[in-house]
């Protein structure tokens, strides 16, 4: 019997921890959260002091029974869940459940945390236990209550005012607003023309370009030259003054140093893994989790805990890193004193370290054969960043040249050339931070060794036309960076925020950049227009700060909830009474044929044009928008064109009418009572010859697929993906191997169908007993209803 029971979140590190602590310790996993708020309105009761009603999932109950059995046999319980706010909450939930079951009487209960799965870290944590932090638990409860109240009360209102299956989240919605507002900026952007002028010259075989920096005594700015005619006049003047010669004026030489960046925190790891490795935030965190826990259960953790806001490194880690730098890169790359980094985040949570290797002597090369490709790439990134953070500065020699046309050195016309040379790589020899958007920088070039008074030949004047560009759409890296800057959410929640927006079809990725969908725009504008305060960036950031204050024990969580709930609930009731679904539609004027109003709105299956209203005697007409059409830019003429379907194209050779249209499952061509999908063709432009070609292809396909057709009985013998079968459209029946499908009689087919099981609808599962079914439904309810509560 083990005297000590240790509970962790993941079973992956269990064997390793048991090995570190010996036979007196048994390790079990909670497998994450063991209970959560019930998945329906009423889980949080504002009228009863914001009491919270929890439920235990079926899977968690199975694990809790194992934990309960082990607790009965143990003398001491160590709650070793992760060292963040969520980990504290799991520890509290387990402790409360075991108390309710009277299993902790005469037991010692300790809370222990370690930021790395190493022997030293685990043993140190066991030797310095504490109790579960009430402040951290209160912050967790406040956050869950806020998210639940926001999502479970606002989402149903959106179903009523916009459409079904929509969701809003306290942190998800401001993040969506960021993406929608950026798209609005891009749509409203008007490019401006500007020109740059340069002189191409050469010195001892080295050709370089100097940009025009002064003209007519004035410093040139971006919009100094905005048309080609002006540029030509400027070039003529310079050519006249230069007469083929340039004079070197002042030569400025400086030495510049660049410091290494701090070791990774959660947000910077997500950004850099996106820039350099192409990882999503979720992929980065799941890969880091495996590196933290150890690979294959046989290795100790390879990195420290990956959910952290702190850039500090432990003293022993710095000592080890400096030793490696001296051995591998030499004393010239080792600063005289260790580098100490200051955490910029206001509330660096739970006193973690930065993300670093548990030992830098475990080099990426040494581990390559033990890690999969993604694990290796991420470990190498963390290892390099950590080592570089303690290395010497990179040193550059920079040069700046003023160059004048001809003998005119009074400065009324001047060119400027800059360059630099890396003379001591320092940390750059190991690691250099990536960039969000690549830009060409002439400073990185090497200039020839010129001195004041040197003469150069003017080879030519080079002018280039440019146009200003709209702000770029957010990538994963820049979105994470902006979320952090605005104080929206916390680094540990960024991956789930992004995943939620994509899963709800509010945004999509195009060339690794986020674009709002039409649905996302409608949702964001509804929230921005009617719940402005609650999707405001400053409000969201202040709420995060208030929650952090609760976690530090500075504020009480119940007044925080009350201050949020009272005005929020009042606003929901106000919008319910004053805003209609028609308010979300955009008017396009009247239909010229009928005089009925035309609107563009969001419907159940996407954006549509509607002619008429539900109150008219004649039913409204609907047409879906075509790919590429936008709800906020489509014109009345473009909308009217959508009602030209179905289009009659002509006839087949045997006289059947051929038409093109769009149905529930996409565009199609119809001939007689048969349909042919036209996924790669446009129903608005397809012509009869192409339609006949598709019809013929379908006939050939069907001929190869249909073995026998008992059309009067509605039964067919078909070639299917898994072999021949019999179907009557309601049931499918396998054909015995000893039967020839082409020789089956109608009677035999009817017998096979009668004996076949009923077809299961897509996505349906077999029914379970009432209790199990109820529990499973409860667990999945938030997914089915698509209500996001930003479970941070």
List active site positions.
305
* DSSP one-letter code for 143: H
CA distance 584 to 624: 17
With a CB cutoff of 8 Å and minimum separation 6, the contacts of 94 are: 7, 30, 34, 64, 67, 79, 81
Give the other-Cβ count within 10 Å of 522's Cβ.
25
CA distance 675 to 44: 52
The CA-CA-CA angle for residues 533, 791, 378, to 5°, reads 110
Spatial contact of 483 and 274, defined as CB atoms under 8 Å apart: no
Helices (H), 101-227: 119-127, 134-161, 172-188
Comparing CA positions, the residue from 653, 539, 638 lying closest to residue 586 is 638
Comparing CA positions, the residue from 662, 522, 670 lying closest to residue 183 is 522
The H-or-E segment that residue 329 falls in is helix 315-329
CA distance 339 to 354: 13
Which residues share a beta bridge with 670? 659, 675
Comparing CA positions, the residue from 457, 465, 403, 406 lying closest to residue 211 is 403
CA distance 351 to 552: 12
Main-chain phi, psi angles of 737, to 5 degrees: -65, -25
With a CB cutoff of 8 Å and minimum separation 6, the contacts of 680 are: none
Comparing CA positions, the residue from 715, 690, 717, 680 lying closest to residue 702 is 717
Spatial contact of 380 and 373, defined as CB atoms under 8 Å apart: no
CA distance 238 to 462: 12
Give the other-Cβ count within 10 Å of 539's Cβ.
14
Spatial contact of 135 and 553, defined as CB atoms under 8 Å apart: yes
Give the other-Cβ count within 10 Å of 134's Cβ.
11
Tell me the CA distances in angstroms from 310 to 264, 306, 419, 491, one per residue in order.
Answer: 8, 10, 36, 11
The H-or-E segment that residue 203 falls in is strand 193-203
Q: Helix 494-503 vs helix 476-486: angle between axes, to the nearest 10 degrees? A: 120
Comparing CA positions, the residue from 549, 563, 567 lying closest to residue 138 is 549
């Amino acid at each position: 019997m083990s005297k000590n029971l240790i509970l962790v979140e993941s079973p992956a590190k269990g064997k390793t921890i048991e090995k570190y602590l010996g036979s007196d310790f048994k390790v079990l996993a909670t497998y994450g959260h063991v209970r959560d708020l019930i998945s329906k309105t009423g889980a949080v009761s504002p009228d009863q002091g914001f009491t919270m009603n929890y439920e235990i999932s079926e899977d968690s109950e199975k694990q809790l029974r194992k934990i309960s059995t082990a607790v009965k046999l143990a003398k001491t319980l160590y709650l070793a869940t992760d060292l963040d706010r969520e980990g504290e909450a799991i520890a509290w939930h387990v402790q409360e459940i075991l108390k309710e079951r009277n299993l902790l009487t005469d037991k010692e209960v300790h809370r222990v945390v370690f930021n790395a799965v190493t022997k030293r870290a685990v043993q140190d944590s066991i030797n310095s236990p504490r109790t579960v932090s009430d402040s951290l638990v209160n912050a967790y409860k406040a956050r869950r209550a806020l998210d639940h109240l926001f999502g479970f009360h606002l989402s149903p209102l959106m179903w009523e005012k916009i459409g079904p299956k929509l969701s809003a989240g306290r942190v998800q919605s401001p993040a969506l607003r960021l993406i929608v507002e950026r798209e609005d900026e891009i749509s409203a952007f008007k490019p401006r023309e500007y020109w740059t002028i340069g002189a191409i010259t050469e010195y001892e075989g080295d050709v370089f370009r100097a940009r025009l920096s002064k003209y007519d005594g004035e410093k040139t700015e971006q919009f100094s030259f905005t048309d080609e005619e002006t540029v030509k006049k400027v070039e003529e003047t310079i050519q006249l003054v230069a007469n083929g010669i340039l004079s070197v004026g002042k030569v400025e030489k400086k030495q510049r140093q660049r410091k290494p960046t701090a070791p990774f925190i959660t947000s910077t790891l997500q950004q850099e893994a996106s820039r350099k490795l192409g990882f999503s935030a979720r992929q980065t965190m799941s890969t880091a989790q495996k590196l933290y826990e150890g690979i294959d259960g046989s290795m100790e953790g390879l990195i420290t805990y990956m959910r952290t806001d702190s850039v500090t490194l432990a003293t022993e880690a710095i000592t080890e890193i400096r030793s490696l730098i001296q051995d591998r890169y030499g004393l010239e790359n080792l600063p005289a004193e260790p580098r100490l980094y200051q955490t910029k985040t206001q509330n660096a949570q739970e006193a973690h370290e930065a993300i670093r290797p548990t030992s830098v002597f475990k080099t990426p090369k040494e581990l390559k054969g033990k890690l999969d490709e993604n694990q290796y790439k991420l470990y190498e990134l963390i290892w390099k960043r950590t080592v570089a953070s303690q290395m010497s500065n990179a040193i550059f020699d920079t040069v700046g040249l003023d160059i004048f046309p001809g003998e005119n050195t009074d400065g009324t016309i001047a060119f400027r050339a800059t360059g630099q040379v890396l003379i001591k790589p320092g940390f750059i020899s190991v690691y250099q931070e990536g960039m969000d958007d690549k830009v060409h920088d002439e400073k990185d070039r090497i200039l020839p060794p010129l001195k004041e008074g040197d003469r150069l030949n003017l080879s030519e004047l080079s002018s280039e036309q440019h146009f200003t560009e709209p702000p770029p759409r957010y990538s994963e890296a820049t979105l994470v960076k902006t979320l952090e800057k605005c104080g929206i959410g916390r680094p540990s929640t960024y991956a789930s925020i992004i995943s939620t927006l994509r899963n709800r079809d509010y945004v999509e990725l195009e060339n690794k950049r986020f674009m709002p969908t039409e649905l996302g725009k409608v949702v964001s504008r509804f929230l921005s227009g009617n719940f402005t305060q609650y999707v405001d960036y400053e409000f969201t950031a202040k709420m995060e700060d208030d929650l952090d204050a609760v976690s530090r024990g500075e504020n009480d969580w119940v007044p925080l909830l009350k201050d949020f709930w009272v005005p929020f609930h009042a606003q929901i009731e106000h919008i319910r009474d004053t805003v209609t679904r028609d308010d979300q539609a955009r008017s396009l004027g009247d239909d010229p044929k009928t005089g009925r109003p035309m609107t563009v709105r969001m419907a159940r299956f996407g954006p549509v044009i509607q002619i008429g209203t539900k109150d008219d005697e004649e039913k409204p007409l609907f047409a879906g928008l075509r790919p590429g059409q936008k709800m906020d830019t489509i014109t009345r003429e473009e909308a009217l064109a959508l009602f030209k379907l179905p289009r009659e194209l002509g006839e087949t050779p045997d006289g059947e009418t051929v038409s093109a249209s769009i149905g529930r499952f996409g565009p199609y061509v119809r001939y007689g009572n048969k349909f042919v999908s036209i996924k790669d063709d446009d129903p608005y432009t397809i012509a009869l010859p192409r339609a006949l070609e598709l019809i013929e292809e379908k006939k050939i396909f069907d001929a190869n697929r249909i073995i026998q057709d008992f059309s009067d009985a509605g039964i067919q013998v078909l070639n299917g993906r898994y072999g021949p079968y019999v179907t009557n459209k309601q049931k499918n029946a396998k054909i015995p191997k000893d039967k020839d499908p082409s020789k089956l009689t109608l009677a035999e087919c009817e017998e096979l169908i009668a004996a076949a099981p009923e077809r299961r609808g897509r996505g349906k599962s077999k029914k379970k007993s009432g209790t199990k079914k109820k529990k499973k439904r409860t667990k999945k309810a938030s997914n089915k209803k698509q209500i996001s509560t930003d479970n941070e």
